[in-house]
Structures are given as C-alpha cells and as structure tokens.
Structure 1
Amino acid sequence: MSRTDETPGSPQWRHAARTGLLAFARRSERPDGGFIWLDDSGQRDRDKGLELWINARMTYVFALAHLAGDDDAQRLSEHGVKALATLFHDDEHDGWYDELSLQGQPVDRDKRCYGHAHVLLAAAAASAAGVEGAAALLDEALRLQSEHFWDQESGRCVEAFSRDWSMLDPYRGANSNMHTVEAYLAAGDVTGDPVWHERALSICERIIGIHARSHGWRIPEHYDHDWTPVPEYNQDSPADPFRPYGATPGHAFEWSRLLVQLAASLEDPKPWLLESAEALFAQAVQDTVEDDTPGLAYTTDWHGVPVVHERFHWVMSEAVMAAEALHAFTGSPLHAGLASRWWAEIDEYFVDAATGAWHHELTPAMTQSSRTWRGKPDAYHAFNALTLPDLPLAPSAALTIGAAR
C-alpha cells in the first residue's frame, strides 16, 4: 500500500493527524480528577457528567501516547489511572461507577461490562507503560472479570449488575463483549496468561461463529438472558448511541479487525477466523458503501437497508482499521483500495482542521449533525486508527508501540 508523505493515510499523515488529535484530547483533563466531555470547540460540555468509558478510553490513549514518546502523556495517563482508582471506584463493593456528576457523585451505580472492559483495556496499557497504580488497577479489573462478568457456561460475558453485584441484568449484549475481546487480548499480552486469549476466542466463536454466521453476517447486537437474539430491540429508538436497533456495520468492521488480530496472535489459528473476518467486512461494505456518497451509515435493518444514515467518526475509524488489518494479513488489493478511499474521506470530511479532533457525526451530505452524538468526547477510535496500522497485528499495541518509534 504505497503512499506519499502527503497522501491521507500515509504514516507521515497519520503521525501529523495524531499529534493534532492528542493536542485536542489534552483539553479534556479535569483538574479535580478524570477527563471531561468536550464540545466541538474543545470546551467542557456543562450538561454532561463524568463517564467511565471516556475516562478509561482517555487513560488508554495517553498510556499508548506515552509509550510512543509523546510529551506530557505519562502525566495524563497517571491522572487517568488515579481517577479510576479513586474517583470512579466503589470502595465498598469494588468495581467502578458508570457515571458521576461533575461534583464527583455517583449518578449510575450499576456495574456494567462495557465500562469495566474499558477499564481493563486502560489498565493493561497503563501497566505496560509503567504508570503508577496501574498494576493494582489491572489486578482488580482482571479479578472482577473472572468473578462477575465472565460466564463460563455461555462462554461469553454478562452485561450488568446492581452496585453490590447481587442482581444480574437479564439483557446480554454483543457490544460489551466486543470491547471485552479487545481488552482480553491486551490483558493476555501484558500478563502472559493464556486464559484471556482463550476467553476472547470463546466470545468470538459464539457471537460471530454462531450468531453472525446464521444471520447472513449481520451481527445480532441484543439478546435475552439465555442468548436468544432479540432482533426488534430498540426499534422505536434506532439511533441509540450504545444499543441501536438493527445491525451496526461499524461493529462488523470492528469485529473483523479483532478477528484478524486474534488470528495473528495464535500459533495455529483456525481458518474460520479469517473467513469470518472477511465475510463480516464484505457484508458491511455491501450494506454501506455507495459509489457516489462518502461515509458509511450507522445502522441497517436485517436486509441491509440503512436505517440511521448519519456518518460517525468511529465507524470510519473501524472500517479503515479493518481494511488495513485485512490487507496486512492477506495482501488483498481490494482492502488496500477501500482503505485509501476511506482515508481520503476521513481527511476531507472528518478531521477538523481548526481543532485537530474528528467530527463525531455527520449527515449523509457530510455536514455536522448531533442526532446521536454531540461534541467531541472520544479520542479512542481515531487514535487507534492513526496508530494501529503502523504496528504488527499482534501482540497488542501496548507491547509494540514503543518499538515503532
């Protein structure tokens, strides 16, 4: 995949874009602890509280940035670890609150797999970076995964508990399990314990190998307590940011990338891993790519017809990472061509030249939208897109990013 210095998606272009993104992301530091939700201009959104997923993701980003040699990133990753260990931590029952007020009071006390997966990812990266307190954070995150979220019988993770872990939510979700796969791969690489790769493989075997395969490679996102798909879930709220109705092609791209990374991490990967990665990618492309329209739709129905047409930055990030990963693994020119197209669209439409951050949501006409997302709260997807293509597919970025300097 030959690109010149100025070509969108070239290593030099990605480095410059990552520098701008990190400069914007630094604005999220909250003096009293943690990271805040930023608006489009990089100011605090005063209507938004403190979110566990944002704080964990920003900690992860700054830990990797520190490993890559970025100035001040060590201090910011330490800032994030401290917030996770104190501000968000439930000292009575263990685990982490999902949301706090700007005054630091718990708003959502439930213990959710989605947020805890991101804490595990952040802790693994920060531990690899030698951040103070990260090893203890990683130990607790791993313990809670084994004690509560990992369900050995189903081979997947459950979704949420009450604050004291006494009540289990009957909902089961693919989204939280997908992010858990990413976290387990990082945790396995950092700790050297093979159980985490085994569990990541188990999740993929069931959600992708069984459910996605049987639904024409459109992934059922929502399930009941015994993992029966609920295809009409949230039909009345199709643009939900975390539990939208229908299929989510961006997640198909994300799973595709994770399957390639998992295959690359195994000594003898089963053929179905790559076959599934390519099938998910191909179906998502078929459902979202239009010759004369840039960007990719957020959701589709179960026949591949777009439901929510808005274009999200994270969908573009995952699409281009999946294309890069599949090209690196297979050498396919198809994936290289799509990666080049999507990098060009990211450069033209999503990168905000005024701030360095990426517009989170655009209309199909590629103008700004806030139907689902407002502001620019999240650097994680864009940072990964600007970082992972320069690294080996395995092991995880926390162990390889420093060697790429």
Structure 2
Amino acid sequence: MVPDFQSRATLLNHIRHTRNFYDSRCVDPSGGFYHFYKDDGTVYDSRTRHLVSSTRFIFTHAMAWRQFGEAADQQRLRHGLAFLRAAHRNPATGGYAWQLDWNNGEGRVTDGTNHCYGLAFVLLAYSHALMAGEADARAWIDETFELMEQRFWDADYGLYADEASADWSTLDAYRGQNANMHACEALIAAFEATGERAFLLRAETLARNITQRQAALADNLIWEHYHADWSVDTEYNRHDKSNIFRPWGYQPGHLTEWAKLLLLLERHGDQLEGGKDWLLPRAVELFNAAMDKAWDAQHGGIYYGFGPDDSICDDLKYFWVQAESLATAALLGARTGEASYWTWYDKIWAYSWEHFVDHQYGAWYRILGADNSKLTDEKSPAGKVDYHTMGACYEVLNVLKKD
C-alpha cells in the first residue's frame, strides 16, 4: 500500500525507518563510523573512511537530534565531530584528508588531496552541528570558510576552484560546478546557523554565477565540467559515465538540486544583494528541464544523465536524483501553489517507494538499472549515508502543514 506522501507522519516514519538501518551498526567505538554496507547492513569494509561519509553522518545525526531529541543521536553527533577533527583534519595544513585507512584507533592517510567538495561538506557538518547545540562548531565554521576562501576562492570568476594537493602547493586546473553547488548549500546552512550575512552573500554569488552566467554557456542548463578559465569542457570524463563525483553530461539531479537551493535562497531574499525576483523563475526552469528531458516514461524514475543533444547518456537510476527531485517538487508546489508540482512530488515518491526504498532492512538502494533491476547488493559504499533521502524528507517537512 502506498502511503500519503503529503503526510508529516509518513515522512517522519520514513526517516526513522532509514535511520534504523544505520543507527544500530554505524558507530566504530575506536573512532568515526563504518561507511560500507551491504543491503542487509553487513559492513563489508570496516577500515576505509571517506571525508564525504564522515561529514554526512554528522549532518544526519545532527538533524535527528534536533527532530527527535534522542540522546543517542547527540552522542553520535559528537562522536562524528571528534573523528572529523582528530582524524581527517591536518592541523599543520588545515586541510582535510579525502580518505583514510582506520584500524582500531590508528589512522593512515591514503588520499590527502584537498577537495573543495569535501570542505563544503565539512562546512555543512559544522553548520548543522551548531544548529544542534554544539557551541564549539561556531569557530570551526569560520575556520573552514576562511580556508575555502584562502585556498579555493577565485575572485576573478566568483567561484571556487576544485582540487589542491595535500600540502596546498598545487592547485589543479579542473573546475567544476558540483563543488560550488554544495558550497552554496553549506553556506546557506552556515548563514542559518550563525546569522552572518557574509555566508548568505557568498551563496548568492555562487548561485548566480553557476545558474545564470555559466548556464548561458551551455544551453541555459548547467554543465558539470570547466577549464581553469571557466570555459565549458565538453570532453572531461566523456568516456567515464560512472565517475561518482564527476560524471559527463548534464545531471538532472543537479538541475533539481540547484532549483532547491534557489528556493532556499529566496526565503532570505530581503538580505540578498541582488534581489530575489530571479530565483523562483530560474528554479522553475531548471526543474522543468530536468523532468522534460530525463523522466523515464516507460519504467518510471529519472535517468542519471543526458547529453547536449538531449539524448540519454546514462540511463541508470540513482537514489539521490529521485530524492532531490521530489524535495524540489514539494518546495515548488508550496511556493507556487501549482498542483502540477505536487503531482510530480507524489509521482516521484511513488516510484521511489516501489523501487528504491528497502522496506525490509531500511534505507534506499543506491543504483538501479534502466528497467529498475537490482545491479548490486552494496547499499552504501563511500559517500552514501542517506543524507540525500533523509535530508529530502526534512526539507519537505518544512513546507507541509501539521497533520
């Protein structure tokens, strides 16, 4: 039976069901969290620690502590913060290791590369920790923002660079929209946590430069990859469609995710420098483009990627694309009052409920075939802690009326 997805109780119960998959097994008493799970919750790699998972776990536990008030979530939040500070962060450089080998309390850096994408999630983690009552995180927000400004900010283009060596001596020539998108997300959270307008204005700059200026270079959509001068790089990863952080082509999930961020910015429109009138129309354009070009009318769900000619270049279905898109549909429905967006919301949810939600063990499957077939029994490899799915539910709760 399909539940009422416009019911707060449905979303709260789903968050609990998803949390239950992780909560009973995620904590490594020697430090941090386990990051790799099979469908049934079996940990299949107990030692690898990825910065993205480490920070996203902090987000999920901070949100759970604020929503449900269970002391165990506060303890997990603090456990995650301690690991982020002690294991990932390099006190000599200020950077954060991308990947670690962690064995019974002893850590070894296996990839010390500094990624702006990673720092964006560090900033997001600290921002949500502060909103969850962790006062020490206030200074860490400033520390992280200043590091991003010092090491990655390119004032000539009004965007962040992407990647630097572990010792910061080399800045890679690659530029990407994804790091800037998640930096925008984190900066909005930093503003909401601190009230400091500078964070909001930086988020506004990123949003305008990616969704307007850069989009103008790519059919008014958002291309993923760029050269050092922020000209479009149409060849980057052309033959590596499965690259987890840098796939080729247009990403429907990123179009809808940017639409969501524009709507979040609009909520603070009276404090923006450039006004808010452009935000809703642009959000509508991006969401509608994603649905028009990437919804699978035969099997349901949203494809992963499409090319400049609008052909589908990656027909797999990824969990996060569905989650971000249903959240954006709800926000657009609430903001515009148009029933069509609530129709999309219910449609994407119903598809996800049938194919992606693991009703037996909890959480969502990560990836499905074009026909929604199972491709792997790895539910949560590095990066997936269901931050997208639970985050989508929390965001929708913000616009739903009380049951």
- Is the structural similarity TM-score above 0.5? yes
Asked if the contact 2:217–2:232 (Cα under 8 Å) also holds between the matched residues in 1, the reply is no
Q: Which consecutive residues of structure 1, in runs of 5 or more, have no partner in the other structure?
A: 394-403
Change (3 A) 1:161 1:372: farther
Find the counterpart in structure 1 of residue 210 from structure 2: 207
Q: Measure the CA separation in 2 of the matches of 1:75 and 1:139.
A: 24
Asked if the contact 2:212–2:220 (Cα under 8 Å) also holds between the matched residues in 1, the reply is no
Q: Measure the CA separation in 2 of the matches of 1:8 and 1:327.
A: 13
Q: CA deviation at 1:46?
A: 1.8
SS in 1 for 2:102: coil
Find the counterpart in structure 2 of residue 18 from structure 1: 15
Asked if the contact 1:256–1:276 (Cα under 8 Å) also holds between the matched residues in 2, the reply is yes
Deviates more, 1:334-343 or 1:28-37: 28-37
1:289 aligns with 2:295: yes
Q: CA deviation at 1:216?
A: 2.5
Kindly, what percent of the aligned residue pairs are identical?
30
SS in 2 for 1:87: helix
Find the counterpart in structure 1 of residue 56 from structure 2: 57
Asked if the contact 1:9–1:344 (Cα under 8 Å) also holds between the matched residues in 2, the reply is no
Change (3 A) 1:118 1:348: same
Deviates more, 1:201-210 or 1:43-52: 43-52
Q: Tell me how large the CA RMSD over aligned residues is.
A: 2.2
Give the TM-score taking structure 1 as reference length: 0.92
Q: For residues 245-282 of structure 1, what are the alpha-carbon distances to aligned partners after superposition, in whole Å with 9 as ceiling and x for unaligned?
A: 11111100100100111112111733222121111111
Asked if the contact 2:124–2:189 (Cα under 8 Å) also holds between the matched residues in 1, the reply is yes
Find the counterpart in structure 1 of residue 256 from structure 2: 253
Q: Measure the CA separation in 2 of the matches of 1:384 and 1:218.
A: 24
Q: Which consecutive residues of structure 2, in runs of 5 or more, have no partner in the other structure?
A: none
Asked if the contact 2:34–2:46 (Cα under 8 Å) also holds between the matched residues in 1, the reply is no
Q: Measure the CA separation in 2 of the matches of 1:325 and 1:195.
A: 25
May I ask how many residue pairs the two structures share in their alignment?
392
Q: For residues 47-97 of structure 1, what are the alpha-carbon distances to aligned partners after superposition, in whole Å with 9 as ceiling and x for unaligned?
A: 871000001011011011111124211001101110111011112111211
Q: CA deviation at 1:5?
A: 10
Asked if the contact 1:40–1:375 (Cα under 8 Å) also holds between the matched residues in 2, the reply is no
Q: CA deviation at 1:135?
A: 2.9
Alignment of 1:147-158 (within 5 A): 147-158=150-161
Asked if the contact 1:81–1:133 (Cα under 8 Å) also holds between the matched residues in 2, the reply is no
Alignment match of 2:364 (pick from 358, 362, 384) = 358
Change (3 A) 1:374 1:74: closer
Q: CA deviation at 1:370?
A: 4.1
Q: Measure the CA separation in 2 of the matches of 1:154 and 1:214.
A: 14
Deviates more, 1:37-46 or 1:380-389: 37-46
Give the TM-score taking structure 2 as reference length: 0.92
Find the counterpart in structure 1 of residue 34 from structure 2: 36
Q: CA deviation at 1:39?
A: 2.3
Q: For residues 219-240 of structure 1, what are the alpha-carbon distances to aligned partners after superposition, in whole Å with 9 as ceiling and x for unaligned?
A: 1100111111101211111121
Deviates more, 1:90-99 or 1:309-318: 90-99
Change (3 A) 1:221 1:230: same
SS in 2 for 1:107: strand
Alignment match of 2:386 (pick from 337, 362, 379) = 379
1:317 aligns with 2:323: yes
Q: CA deviation at 1:375?
A: 4.8
Q: Measure the CA separation in 2 of the matches of 1:392 and 1:285.
A: 21
Q: Measure the CA separation in 2 of the matches of 1:124 and 1:317.
A: 22
Q: Letter of the aligned partner of 1:382 in structure 2?
A: T
Q: Letter of the aligned partner of 1:390 in structure 2?
A: L
Q: Measure the CA separation in 1 of the matches of 2:242 and 2:377.
A: 8
Asked if the contact 1:5–1:11 (Cα under 8 Å) also holds between the matched residues in 2, the reply is no
